[in-house]
Chains A and B, each alone.
Chain A
Amino acid sequence: MEHANIQIFIATVVMSFLILYKIFSARAGKQIYIRRIPGLTEIDEAVGRATEMGRPMLFHPGVGDFTQIGTLAAMGVLGYVAKLGAKMGTKLITITAIPIVVPVAQDVIRQSYASEGRSDMFDPEDVRFLAAGNDQLALASAALMKQEQTASHFYFGQYDYTSLLFTEPGQHHGAIQIAGTNDYFQIPFFIASCDYTVIGEELLAASAYLTREATMLGSLIGQDYGKIIILAVILIGTLVMTFGTPGARQLFDTIVGTYK
């Protein structure tokens, strides 16, 4: 496994400190504003639509297991969708090809239903391990859409080439589809085949945005401060490398320490 060099170690500590500092200052009651993320705002509309039509919803937490950060983020969205579903009395079916996701997803949904006082709605059968391969699961999900007449589909998490195999049948089926992935290569496929797409880091910000918890919002602000630092380093680096003397360039290179 890769090990941190001194620059990466300092960067990790600084970024972690910023995020934690902002989390704890937000917990202390500091007011925080975050911009609107359309894909996430539309989750309410998608759940509402399924409720109006009296049909179930479908959630797929990606193709990654729990070592993937996208899957962890997807669980936050799953919890929110399940809560809304419980509030409106709409059934949520979760599908996966990763066995370890089954008990975790069941737990997340059970907790969400319980928090809305609708533990009676929980059915372990609604979290379905339909196939051990993602392409087979995509085919099974297409069959499930027809069989259950699902009205709203949510695809959040890590995705691979199978992304379009999941979403395109849903598009033909006429369901409202919202997707989000941190896999850059799959984003165009989601944009082409879904009604709303949450791009890249927005997925990782999703649970913070949806829950509006001070802790979660604080971490978002911490991330933004991290981005400001990165932008400043890029700007200084561009100036030094373009206009700086060889000595200044060497110094910047030594301080920043690139992947060598």
Chain B
Amino acid sequence: MWKKRLIALVTFLAGLYYFLEFVVPPTVPWATVRGVVVSPPTKSQLVVKPFVGKQFVSIGTNEKIEREMPDGSVSIISPSSVKIGDRIKWRDKAGKVVNIPAQGQFVIESYGSPRTVKLAKNVIIFRKSVSGSDESVTWDYVKQGNEVKVGPSTFLSQWQTNVNDFFVVLGSLAWGMGLFSLWLVHSTAIRKRRGEWGLSVVFFVFVVFGVIAGYGFGNERVAWAKNLNDLAFDYMLVPMGSTIFSLLAFYMASAAYRSFKAKTNEAIMMMLSALIVMLGQIPVGLWLTNWLPPSAQLPVVSQWILYVINSAAVKGMWFGMMLGAIAVGLRFWLSLERGAYFDMEL
């Protein structure tokens, strides 16, 4: 009983940490400055031009706009190329695009006057990467023109590496269990002379071989060990893995053959849509329907099936799955799950 209560307590505390880490911002919101670095940073301070209020900008289609990249470089673009998250400058208006309600219309977060942010010990810096995500960096990785978010840490995110390490430790312990399971299966097979027990002997031989070969991993100084490692991994394991992978092609063919038997209305629909999608992906599809209006040609219809009909169905499934994930997560977090892990005693 105490074991179950301990599991429930650890699960609850771990779940609480991850929940808080998700909902609590990494920096204290009211003390965080978001903006663009305007002068070379120093160890003790950053000078940032902060984003302040929002303003609406309407730009004609033939106008040219300056776009400032996350690394500080500038390019000239047309209004149609502007995306949400871009930092733009047009005439006397400058800021970060937060919404594009219609073509040529932009809602931007404009800049305020530069502010000096002191880099105390508990202050963390997030730099906007080229991909648009925030990455935690130290002051010496920040350059003039970078978009940053600077503020006192809420500490939760900083502990994440340590908390995740706990899983690594657990995982390492579990490897022992896995190896014990392997030993149990194969040693029993040999002891009881169960069918194909010879293969279990081969297993143990190869375990020893693998351990010796592993000594050569990255070990350039001992030639025989390196050669053995290459033999085991590059010349045996990798080709065998590829062979298994290639089986997939044959399995796909046999599975597809079974599925494409037009036994029911649903099967007929699936077969027809699969035929259109497949033909639409290859030049023959275009050649066959070249005489039709563009919107009725197979490549277009194929894309429509894939990105409109299919996408709608997939998004519906995703909503359900995500809600299901929240429900399963809650049940495990609060130890409400019954039937598999916890019985009614808890």
- Chain B interface residue count: which class? 35 or more
Please, what's the 1-or-0 string for A114-156, where 1 marks a CB less than 8 Å from any CB in chain B? 0100000000110111101101101100000001000000000
Query: Which residue of B99, B188, B259, B323 contacts A192 across the interface (Cβ within 8 Å)?
Result: B259
Judge if B276 is at the interface, Cβ distance under 8 Å.
no
Q: Are B181 and A102 in contact (CB under 8 A)?
A: yes
Q: Are B247 and A129 in contact (CB under 8 A)?
A: no
Within residues 96 to 126 of chain A, which ones have a CB less than 8 A from any CB in chain B?
99-100, 102-103, 107-108, 111-112, 115, 124-125
Q: What A residues does B323 contact at CB under 8 A?
A: 15, 201, 223, 226-227, 230
Q: In whole angstroms, how far apart are the Cα atoms of A182 and B314 in the complex?
A: 11
Q: What B residues does A133 contact at CB under 8 A?
A: 241
Q: In whole angstroms, how far apart are the Cα atoms of A226 and B330 in the complex?
A: 14
Query: Which residue of B157, B176, B255, B340 contacts A1 across the interface (Cβ within 8 Å)?
Result: B157
Query: Which residue of A12, A78, A213 contacts B23 across the interface (Cβ within 8 Å)?
Result: A12
- Of chain B, the residue at the smallest CB distance from A127 is B181
Q: What A residues does B321 contact at CB under 8 A?
A: 182, 200-201, 204
Query: Which residue of A9, A136, A189 contacts B255 across the interface (Cβ within 8 Å)?
Result: A189
Q: In whole angstroms, how far apart are the Cα atoms of A115 and B339 in the complex?
A: 10
Judge if B275 is at the interface, Cβ distance under 8 Å.
no
Please, what's the 1-or-0 string for B250-278, where 1 marks a CB less than 8 Å from any CB in chain A? 01101110110000000000000000000
Judge if B72 is at the interface, Cβ distance under 8 Å.
no
Cβ of B18 to closest chain A Cβ, rounded Å: 9
Q: Are A76 and B337 in contact (CB under 8 A)?
A: yes
Q: Are B326 and A12 in contact (CB under 8 A)?
A: yes
Q: Do A99 and B340 form a contact, CB below 8 Å, given A19-B327, A184-B314?
A: no
Within residues 82 to 101 of chain B, which ones have a CB less than 8 A from any CB in chain A?
84-85, 98-99, 101
Q: In whole angstroms, how far apart are the Cα atoms of A201 and B323 in the complex?
A: 8
Q: In whole angstroms, how far apart are the Cα atoms of A1 and B188 in the complex?
A: 45
Q: Are B241 and A108 in contact (CB under 8 A)?
A: no
Query: Which residue of A107, A128, A200, A250 contacts B181 across the interface (Cβ within 8 Å)?
Result: A128
Judge if A47 is at the interface, Cβ distance under 8 Å.
no
Please, what's the 1-or-0 string for A1-20, where 1 marks a CB less than 8 Å from any CB in chain B? 11110000100100110011
Q: In whole angstroms, how far apart are the Cα atoms of A220 and B324 in the complex?
A: 8
Q: What A residues does B329 contact at CB under 8 A?
A: 69
Query: Which residue of B167, B314, B319 contacts A67 across the interface (Cβ within 8 Å)?
Result: B167
Q: Are A138 and B244 in contact (CB under 8 A)?
A: yes
Judge if A43 is at the interface, Cβ distance under 8 Å.
no
A-B contact count (CB 8 A): 198
Q: In whole angstroms, how far apart are the Cα atoms of A74 and B104 in the complex?
A: 50
Q: Are A191 and B324 in contact (CB under 8 A)?
A: no
Judge if A64 is at the interface, Cβ distance under 8 Å.
no
Q: What B residues does A199 contact at CB under 8 A?
A: 317
Judge if B165 is at the interface, Cβ distance under 8 Å.
no
Q: In whole angstroms, how far apart are the Cα atoms of A75 and B314 in the complex?
A: 25
Judge if B171 is at the interface, Cβ distance under 8 Å.
yes
Q: Are B157 and A207 in contact (CB under 8 A)?
A: no
Q: Which listed segment binds B: A30-38, A48-56, A161-169?
A: A161-169
Cβ of B129 to closest chain A Cβ, rounded Å: 14
Judge if A80 is at the interface, Cβ distance under 8 Å.
yes
Cβ of B203 to closest chain A Cβ, rounded Å: 10
Q: What B residues does A19 contact at CB under 8 A?
A: 326-327, 330
Cβ of B4 to closest chain A Cβ, rounded Å: 10
Q: Are B320 and A227 in contact (CB under 8 A)?
A: yes
Q: Are B248 and A165 in contact (CB under 8 A)?
A: yes
Query: Which residue of B21, B244, B324, B332 contacts A201 across the interface (Cβ within 8 Å)?
Result: B324
Q: What A residues does B256 contact at CB under 8 A?
A: 192
Q: Do A23 and B337 form a contact, CB below 8 Å, given A102-B178, A192-B258?
A: no
Q: Are B98 and A1 in contact (CB under 8 A)?
A: no
Cβ of A175 to closest chain B Cβ, rounded Å: 15
Q: Are B244 and A216 in contact (CB under 8 A)?
A: no
Query: Which residue of A103, A168, A172, A253 contacts B174 across the interface (Cβ within 8 Å)?
Result: A103
Q: In whole angstroms, how far apart are the Cα atoms of A199 and B98 in the complex?
A: 37
Within residues 219 to 254 of chain B, which ones have a CB less than 8 A from any CB in chain A?
241, 244-245, 247-248, 251-252, 254
Q: In whole angstroms, how far apart are the Cα atoms of A79 and B338 in the complex?
A: 10
- Of chain A, the residue at the smallest CB distance from B157 is A1
Judge if A63 is at the interface, Cβ distance under 8 Å.
no
Q: In whole angstroms, how far apart are the Cα atoms of A217 and B325 in the complex?
A: 15
Q: Are A216 and B331 in contact (CB under 8 A)?
A: yes
- Of chain B, the residue at the smallest CB distance from A225 is B323
Q: Are B326 and A78 in contact (CB under 8 A)?
A: no
7 A-B residue pairings within 8 Å (CB atoms): A15-B326, A73-B328, A139-B244, A182-B321, A182-B325, A189-B252, A219-B327
* Additional A-B contacts beyond A100-B170, A192-B258, A201-B321 (14; CB < 8 A): A1-B157, A23-B336, A99-B176, A99-B178, A128-B181, A129-B177, A132-B178, A182-B324, A189-B255, A215-B331, A216-B339, A223-B326, A230-B323, A260-B98
